[in-house]
Amino acid sequence: MAGPVSVLPPLEHPPSRPRLTPLSLAVFPRLATAALDLVFPALCAVCEARLGPRRRDPLCGPCWDAIARIVPPYCDRCGVPMPMREPPESSELGACRSSRGPSAGFARATLPGGGSEGAIEAPSDELEDGPPPPAVCTACVADGPAYDYSRSAAVYGGVLREALHRLKFGGRRALARPLADLAVEQCGPSLPDGIAAIVPVPLAGDRERERGFNQAALLAERVAQGLALPVRARWLARGRATRPQSDLPAAERSANVRGAFRAAPAVAGRHVLLVDDVLTTGATLAECARALRAAGADRIGALTVARVR
């Protein structure tokens, strides 16, 4: 007869690991960065000083702060900064202005030549409650760009010029991150609703192979994250090779890129936001817009990190 059956003790489960909270997950990269900085001090990609407070890797705080950001007022069409001048006072307008603010009832515009001189304000037809009328420069009133609107984060020069050069020609791809963030932070709130997708300006095939990347595509990926929008790089392509625009005078740039782009049928009826690094004459963005418009795009905007004055 068999002996008594022994009772086995219950299996002991190993103690569960503490679950990582979002806060603890966020701390780890900072600790890792701090540890690496102790061993391999991180240097700014522009001035080569050690990164410190207010850093926007790989830019140091002072370089980040030195970027000349573009703030309103600017043209709602082309994005050029528009200095303002107070209009003449009158008894009728003065009463309205006192109740609605100094710019109520006036549409802003720049004098021919733009720059920092000679902004004008013209009385609007009606003084109604609500948002102020769109501000459009005289150049756009006479002959607006092929795109519907354009925004640029900062003036091309100084730290920003050096950062963009090191991104494009020095292979410093990490610079795309803070530069795209700059575009989102400065221009995101002023972008209209309804954007379907972000489209980077295509780079000529030989230059992309030589460089190893398209800087506009790198910027577009980061901008898309900030705006919570998809990137559709295949919606726009180069149909032929062109000379680098930077090698040409302004008068020859439009002819250089004329007919150089083709758009996919998928853009039909959509609101598309083009992304590029610098707006100089606007010739490349305008030709991209014409290709998108020919394919049926409903609305076309342009977003760049910098623009030339």
What integer pLDDT is reported at residue 255 of this predicted model?
86
* Interacting residues of 279 by C-beta distance below 8 A, sequence separation 6+: 79, 150, 152, 285, 302, 304, 306, 307, 308
Q: Which two tokens stand for residue 238?
A: 């180069």
CATH 3.40.50 maps onto the chain at 61-70+142-307
> Could you tell me the pTM of the whole model?
0.74
Q: Is 23 helix (H, G, I), strand (E, B) or coil?
A: helix
What integer pLDDT is reported at residue 4 of this predicted model?
57
What integer pLDDT is reported at residue 232 of this predicted model?
98
What integer pLDDT is reported at residue 207 of this predicted model?
87
What integer pLDDT is reported at residue 99 of this predicted model?
38
What integer pLDDT is reported at residue 118 of this predicted model?
36
What integer pLDDT is reported at residue 88 of this predicted model?
43
What integer pLDDT is reported at residue 41 of this predicted model?
64
Strand partners, 119: 110
Task: Judge if the upstream peptide bond of residue 73 is cis by omega within 30 degrees of 0.
Answer: yes
Q: Is 92 helix (H, G, I), strand (E, B) or coil?
A: helix
What integer pLDDT is reported at residue 130 of this predicted model?
59
Q: Which residues of the chain have pLDDT under 50?
A: 14, 17-18, 20-21, 23-24, 34, 36, 38-40, 85-127
What integer pLDDT is reported at residue 29 of this predicted model?
57
Strand partners, 263: 236
The greatest distance separating any two alpha carbons of the chain, rounded to the nearest whole angstrom, comes to 118
Task: Give CA–CA dist 284/245, Å, rounded.
Answer: 8
Sign of torsion, CA 114 109 192 262? negative
CA distances from 154 to 6, 28, 124, 179, 305 (A): 80, 33, 29, 10, 6
Its CATH architecture, for the domain 61-70+142-307, is: 3-Layer(aba) Sandwich (3.40)
pLDDT by residue (tens digit) across 130-163?
A: 566 678 999 999 999 999 999 999 999 999 999 9
189: exposed, middle or buried (Cβ count in 10 Å: 0-12, 13-18, 19+): exposed
Task: Give CA–CA dist 189/171, Å, rounded.
Answer: 30
Q: Is 128 helix (H, G, I), strand (E, B) or coil?
A: coil
What integer pLDDT is reported at residue 250 of this predicted model?
79
